[in-house]
Chains A and B, each alone.
Chain A
C-alpha cells in the first residue's frame, strides 16, 4: 500500500468508528432509560418512533435549540474547552481497539482497527487520564462551588482508581508480553481468557473502569443530591450534550477495553475447528466482539440502577485499601501462573 491508500483507508475507518460510536450512544441512552424504567416497574419512553427508539434524537433536538448560557463568573475559554476535551478524549481512545482479525478487502490487507499502535494499551491509559482534565476544567471554570467540588472529587477519584487500573493491566501484560491490543487479543485464544485466568484482576479492572467512567456506584463528581449536577451544573445546550455524549462514549470505550483485555476481544473459542469459510468466521468474530461489548454495556446500565452511590470516604478507602492491594495480589498470582505452567 502506498501512502495515499493508507490515508484513505484510515480516513474511512475513522469516519466509520465515529459514526458507529455516535449511533451507539443514541441507542445506549435510549436503552439506559428503558432498562432503568423496567427495573423500576415502569415502561419508559415508548412514544417517539417505533417503541420510542427516536427518543434520544428528540432530546438532542431539544438541547440544540436551547440557549447556551455561560455564567458571567466563569472562565470563558476553559468553559468552552472543557466539553471539547472530554469529547476528544472519548473519541480518540477508540482508535486502538481491534474489533476483528485482519481481513483482506479488494486485495488490501486491512486491520480492523483505526491505528495498530504497538503501545496501544498505554495510549488508552494515557488518554483516559487526560479525560479528567475535561471534568476538572469544567468544574474549575464554571465559577460555582458545586461544579468545583465535583471537579475536585473527580480528579481525586480518577487518580486513586487509575493506580489499581494500571496494576490490573500489568497482569494482562505479563501474560501477553505485549502492549499491542491485537496481540493481547491473540494471546487469549481458546478459553485462555484473562477473565478466567486472573479473576481478581478482572474484578479490580471492571471496578476501576466504573470509577473512571464516573458511573454509579462511583458517580460522585455529579452526585445530584449533594452537588446539584456536579461539574456540569453550569452547562447548558450543546455543551451539556457534549459531556453527556462523552460519558456514554466513555462507557463504550470501557466496555471495549474490558472485552479486549479480559474477554478475549473478538475471539470465539475454537471457531477455527468448525471449518467455516474465512469470511463467515471473520463476520462471526466481529459479531462476537460487538456482542461482548453490548453485554458489558448492559451490565453498566444494570449496575447503575441496582447499587447505591458510595460515600466519598468509602470510595477512597475502597480504592486504596481494597482495590490497590487486590490488584497487586493479582500480579503475584499471574507471576505464579507463569512460573508454574510456563505460559
Chain B
C-alpha cells in the first residue's frame, strides 16, 4: 500500500516556530482593537428574531378572549409535562375554553412542540426570555401571565404561516 503523504507538511520556515508565533501574536493584537460583540445586558437588550423560541404564551384575540379551545393537545405533546389544561363550556362560538391553563416554567424546555401541535394557533412562542422567579409557586404561570394580545405576536404568527 502506498503511504499517503500528509496534505500539509511544515516548511522549514514554519518549523522555526518563531515567525509563526509572531504571526499569531499580530493577529491577536489586531483583534484587541476590533469592535466587541458583547451586549451589556441590563442596559442593552437582545432583540430576538421572529424565529426565536422564548416562553410559550396564549394568543388573546381583540375581543379579549383566548383562542384556545382547550383540546389538550399541547398538554399531551409536551415532553416536559409542563402544561395543565382544564376545559369548560362557554356560550361563545368555540364552545369550549380553558378554565385553567397553567405552564410550569421550571419544567418547560422551550421545545416549541405545543405551538407546533396546536390546531388553533392559540399557543405560540414569544420573544420573552427574561424569566425570573424567587420561588417555585411563582414559576407556574397561569392564564393571567400567559395571555398576550394578538398584535404583540404578529411577528411570530407571520413566521409560523410562512415556515410551518
Contact = CB atoms under 8 A, between A and B. Distances in A.
Interface of A: 35, 37-43, 46, 203, 302-303, 305-307
Given A203-B18, A306-B24, A307-B21, A42 B31 contact: no
B37 A306 contact: no
9 contacts: A38-B31, A39-B32, A41-B35, A41-B38, A42-B37, A302-B28, A302-B29, A303-B25, A306-B27
A50 to B, nearest CB: 15
A146 B38 CA distance: 35
B34 interface: yes
A240 B160 CA distance: 53
Contacts of A306: 21, 24-25, 27-28
A35 B37 CA distance: 15
Please indicate which of the listed interface residues A35, A39, A203 has the most CB atoms of chain B within 10 Å of its own CB. Answer: A39
Ordered nearest first, which 8 A-B pairs have the shortest CB separation? A38-B32, A306-B28, A43-B38, A39-B28, A306-B24, A41-B37, A42-B38, A43-B36
A41 B28 contact: no
Interface in B26-47: 27-29, 31-38, 40
Size band of the interface chain B makes with A: 10 to 19
B24 A307 contact: yes
Contacts of A305: 28
Contacts of A203: 18
Q: What does DSSP make chain B's interface, helix, strand, loop or mixed?
A: helix
A303 B32 CA distance: 13
A305 B38 CA distance: 18
B35 to A, nearest CB: 8
Contacts of B29: 302
A302 B32 CA distance: 10
B21 A35 contact: no
A40 B37 CA distance: 9
A52 to B, nearest CB: 12
A40 B36 CA distance: 8
A35 B35 CA distance: 14
Nearest to B33: A38
Given A303-B25, A306-B24, A307-B21, A35 B40 contact: no
Please indicate which of the listed interface residues A42, A302, A305, A306 has the most CB atoms of chain B within 10 Å of its own CB. Answer: A306
A40 B34 CA distance: 10
A191 B40 CA distance: 47
Interface string B79-114: 000000000000000000000000000000000000
Nearest to B37: A41
B138 to A, nearest CB: 27
Interface in B41-64: none
